[in-house]
Structure 1
Amino acid sequence: MNARRTFLISLTVYLILAGLVSVMTPLGEAPDEADHYAYARYIALHHALPQGPEVTQGKHPPLYHTLAALAGGWTGMGLFLQPNPDVFPIRTDGPANFFIHGPEEGFPWRDGPLAFHLARLLSVLLGGATLWGAWRIGAEAFPRHPEIGLMAAAFLAGLPGYLYISGAMNNDNAVGAFGALALLIMVRIIRQGLSLHRTLALGIVFGLGLLSKVGMLSLWPLAALALIAPIWPQRHQVEAWVQAGLHVLAAWGMGLLVASPWLLRNWRLYGDPLGWGLVRQTVDLREGPVDLAVLFWLGKGLFTYFWGRFGAIGQIFLPGWAYLLAGLLSLALMTGILYFLARRPSPAPRQVFLILLLVGAPALTLAGVIRYTAIALGTDQARLMWPSIAVIGVWVGVGLAGWLEMLGLTSRLRAWTLGLGMLIAASLVALATLFLLVRPALW
């Protein structure tokens, strides 16, 4: 079985599972879904972006919500969500659903529910694009180990935390897809060298990612790393640095050009390009510093959301033993990563740049999350790491490849068999989570 067919199996499984999540999760019962729907609805009805804090998600760039409005605007996008008055205060023995779900949400969908499901379908497709990006990043960063990209895709395809967001109306799915594509272009620049069309393509993707979510900016500094890599052998020549610098400026300039309508609008309305004044009006502001206690809270939340935590505010947890197993698996994967890297001969400069890129992406995204944590509460959600989720999947593939080497299972057939077995096991876990935990709690 070749790599493409193996990936298509993972993609098919993902589309089935994410599709089930999108259909079976009650509408509005994923993080910020009701507010994202309100944003897309405003665009569909008014053919303009909202101003001020009334539409709370209006603080975000508009690309995802504009696509959702285009997909569902013809339905009428009526209001139908009815808040559940008994949900607060959140109790372990109380209701978990934030909204009351009636027959209007039943199939065949019409009006608002239909528009909502079309937006969720958009998310599913964007999540599939991210999956493809993870496969290609792994395959092209480690061409001698095609199993890495395949295992990255298989892991994400069955990860409950990834599937839950992929089946939700949420702009993190858009920034995940554009982040994966940007990182893939940077891998190709490092491997294949400078070219104007790759540089401009990177800038366009940067701009589209920024128009999806501001978190995309965490990947922009990596353009300098990727565009310096090809000229590194000529680093003693001034002309080489000038060439690399011009390419960096071209990538960033193209990104700013693509995003400029939104940036200029923010500057005009709110006084700065990213609209931080509006952000501060629409989030719960943090009081006090980001100390060790806050960092521990943040790390715990990112971990639990990543592996699986559900509901509108993450109020539905996996059993405690599931997180314990996930922690042990995480330690095992880190061991595998270290083993895999230690076993490689002295890397060529190009490979060093690739490793720095793959380390830098999640590191910079996490730094951005910590920076945002200094401003807002509720930032302990793994979806804020989605600009680099494809690379996180690749590191899982590297860790598994390390264990294959440790166990002497180095043939591609064995590696792909293990990858498919992991996909099947993860899929069963995801199905059990959906049918036995999430759906009963929310209906």
Structure 2
Amino acid sequence: MHGPDASRFAPPPAHFAGQRWGLGLILAIFVVLATLYNVRVPILEAPDEALHYLAARHLAEGGGLQPMVTRQSAEGVRLPPLFHGLGALLTLGVDTGEGPALQANPYANVCRPETPGNKNLVMHPEAEVWPYRGVPLAVHLLRLLSTLCAAGAVALAFLATREALPNHPGVALGAAALFAFNPQFVFVGASATSAAAGVLFGTAALYLALRVANGRALGGPRAAALLGLLVGLGLLAHVSLLVALALPPLAYGARLWRQRRAEREDPAADPLHGLLVPTAVAWGVALAIGGWWYILNAAQGIDPLGGGLLGGDVVRAASTLRETSLSPWETVEAMARSLRSYWGVFGWMNIPADEAYYVFVQLLTVLGVAGLGLGAMWALWNRGDTAGQPWHTVGLVAAWALLQGVVYALYARAATCPQGRLLFPAGAGISLLLGLGIYVLAPRRYGGALVGALAAVLLVVAAAAPFRYIAPAYAAPARVALEEAPATMSDLAIRFSEDVFLLGHHMERRSVKTGDVLRVRLYWLATGAMDEDLTVSLRVYGRDEAVIGSMDSYPGMGSYPTSRWVPGEVIVD
């Protein structure tokens, strides 16, 4: 077995003009996919989408930065305001008082992908269809804003990879494609949340940090101030960007290391002027732009991180480290649990993809990590033959991804439902590293093609997901006319009220054992219009009339409440 060719890591200049078409195609496909998700995913069916919509509406109605009290908690929740401020401007003319009030589904299976049915957090009226008005219009506009942010992040991921690996154009396009065609990232990029805005500023800061490390940024303190500006805007977009405060010292430290390796007599190689001063400038600008929000929270007695999802779980996990230290195995285990949700668990973390897809992304991840390890070992083995290689930029990206991973592992350790999407601020770096690792493993001429082929598989799944996984999860049950009710059903003829009549049922099996799934089909006849929503309660009794299985739900596994029934129709539930 031969090791990777060390020259493959060298940074001679390459021509990227032809890649503009490739990047343009990736961006166009991403926007089309995100628009498809925008239309196919019912509103408020992405994690925290309702909270972010309410925050934008709160600002649009002149509510200011006062904390909102949610039903789930009596404590105030305040979200970083940048995305919601832009969203408020975008939806300012939308009358969100139109249409029926949205009703919560009390039986929603949040964060339970293994449980069938009740994937919807809210009940969806017919008024949500095109042409959009009121709340649906506002949510779809916020989703469009997220799509623009996510598309910008994809473009910056390409530029960042090109900056880190200037001699590998195939990796640059491949990393952008791995990032853009990740079905979970498409889903996030089509959700009305601030996540995509956080990814945008995190990726922009990473790109500028790489330019600083290569000595290609603006001279003097301007580059540090610009880097601080991007980090500060990130702080106002998403609390996960607090980790981006590490980018200035990483960037200037990498530049200092590169200059010392080259043995240049450069004043910037002095640690004081080359590392400490620009880092202080960047931090000062970042905190001046974004730090006020966290200080305001603390001054008003709110969690400085706003009381949101990520911050509280990280703080809780960190506070328990002294009592129960986080072992390396626990860290790996927490990350492994979230691998699926990084690549594709839709809805409120309750709509999975096919098992074969998860096997594929596990293989992709293993290939990327193995290739990185092989490349690192080969570089250490051939230390004298690695001069001029861009290890300073690869190391910067790896450190950035590792820092995000450590914070995420703390969160995953404490969270009841870890969400891999919270790794997306480092998604460009993760895609870069995976793309590079896969490139290293492939034969010399086929590295870029292999990365592209793996990205194409992601694209196929991303394009199929709205139709294969998402839409069926929210689909209403079949309805037929009374004369079309199947003769094979077991007659029951039970009247529950003046408006509800149970014609019959069908069970696929008559005996079950512990752990089995029992599928039951009920045939309801709507004999009148109803204003209230009735609950279907099913119980399975075993020996001695002990309850061995149960389920409560609105009809249609939560998708077709009785208030929407049409008199005369038979609902196949």
TM over 0.5: same fold?
A: yes
- Counterpart check, 1:247 vs 2:285: no
Summarize the alignment of residues 28-177 of structure 1 with structure 2, pairs less than 5 Å apart: 28-51=44-67, 53-54=69-70, 58-78=77-97, 80-87=101-108, 92-177=115-200
> Deviation per CA, 1:306-354, whole angstroms, max 9, x where unpaired?
1110111x11112223212221222122223334455566444883321
Distance 1:436 1:195, change over 3 A: same
Query: Structure 2: which amino acid aligns with 1:298?
Result: A
Higher strand share: 2
The letter of the residue matching 1:73 is L
Measure, in 2, the Cα distance between the counterparts of 1:422 and 1:238.
41
SS at match of 2:184: helix
- Please state if 1:433 is matched with 2:465: yes
In structure 1, list runs of 5 or more residues that go unmatched.
none
Summarize the Cα distance change of 1:181–1:15 in structure 2 as closer, same or farther, 3 Å threshold. Answer: same
Q: Distance in 1 between matches of 2:311 and 2:205?
A: 29
Distance across 2 between alignment mates of 1:435 and 1:87: 21
Structure 2 counterpart of 1:397, one-letter code: G
Amino acid at match of 1:37: Y
Higher-RCO chain (CA-CA 8 Å, sequence separation at least 6): 1
The question of whether the paired residues in 2 share the 8 Å contact of 1:226 and 1:353 is answered with no
- Report deviation, 1:112: 1.1
Q: Is 2:263 the partner of 1:230?
A: no
CA, structure 1 residues 380+347, in 2 after alignment: closer, same or farther (shift >3 Å)?
farther
Q: Which stretch of structure 1 is more off in the superposition, 145-154 or 263-272?
A: 263-272
| Alpha-carbon distance between aligned partners in 2 of 1:105 and 1:111, rounded to the nearest angstrom | 9
TM-score (norm 2): 0.69
1:180-195 map, 5 Å: 180-192=203-215, 195=220
- Verify: 1:323 aligned to 2:358, yes or no: yes
Is contact 1:53-1:281 (8 Å) kept?
Answer: no
1:14 matched to 2:30: yes
**What one-letter code is carried by the residue in structure 2 that aligns with 1:365?**
Q
Q: Larger helix proportion, structure 1 or 2?
A: 1
Specify the alignment match of 1:218 in structure 2: 243
Letter of the structure 2 residue corresponding to residue 386 of structure 1: F
Matched-pair contact (CA < 8 Å) for 2:439–2:450: no
C-alpha change, 1:237 and 1:196, in structure 2 (3 Å) is closer
Q: Is the Cα–Cα contact under 8 Å of residues 232 and 290 in structure 2 kept in the other structure?
A: yes
**Cα offsets for 1:161-206 (capped at 9, x unmatched):** 1111111112111111101000000100011255322111100000
Check conservation: 2:80, 2:306, Cα contact below 8 A.
no
Structure 1 residues 240, 305: closer, same or farther in 2, change over 3 A?
same
The verdict on how the C-alpha distance between 1:337 and 1:41 changes in structure 2, with shifts beyond 3 A counting, is same
Q: Does residue 360 of the first structure (1) align with residue 399 of the second (2)?
A: yes
> 1:13 aligns to what SS in structure 2?
helix
1:198 equivalent in structure 2:
223
1:309 to 345, 348, 353: 345
Matching of residue 256 in structure 1 with residue 256 in structure 2: no
- Are 1:299 and 2:335 counterparts? yes
CA-based RMSD of the aligned residues comes to 3.1
- 2:430 match: 392
What SS class does the counterpart of residue 387 from structure 1 fall into?
Answer: helix
| Contact 2:96/2:135 (<8 A) preserved | yes
Change (3 A) 1:395 1:175: same
SS of residue paired to 1:221: helix
TM-score (ref. length: structure 1): 0.88
What amino acid does structure 2 have at the position aligned with 1:20? L
Q: 1:73 & 1:190 partners in 2: Cα distance?
A: 42
Identity %: 28
Pair 1:298–1:279, CA change in 2 (3 A)? closer
Bigger radius of gyration, 1 or 2?
A: 2
Aligned to 2:516: none
Q: CA separation of 1:302/1:93 partners in 2, compared to 1, >3 Å: closer, same or farther?
A: closer
- Return the alpha-carbon distance in structure 2 between the equivalents of residues 98 and 271 of structure 1: 27
Distance between the aligned counterparts of 2:356 and 2:27, measured in 1?
A: 29
Note the alpha carbon deviations across 1:265-290, whole angstroms, 9 max, x for none: 22320277545699989999779757
What residue is the counterpart of 2:20 in the other structure? 4
Question: How far apart, in 2, do the equivalents of 1:231 and 1:32 lie?
Answer: 41
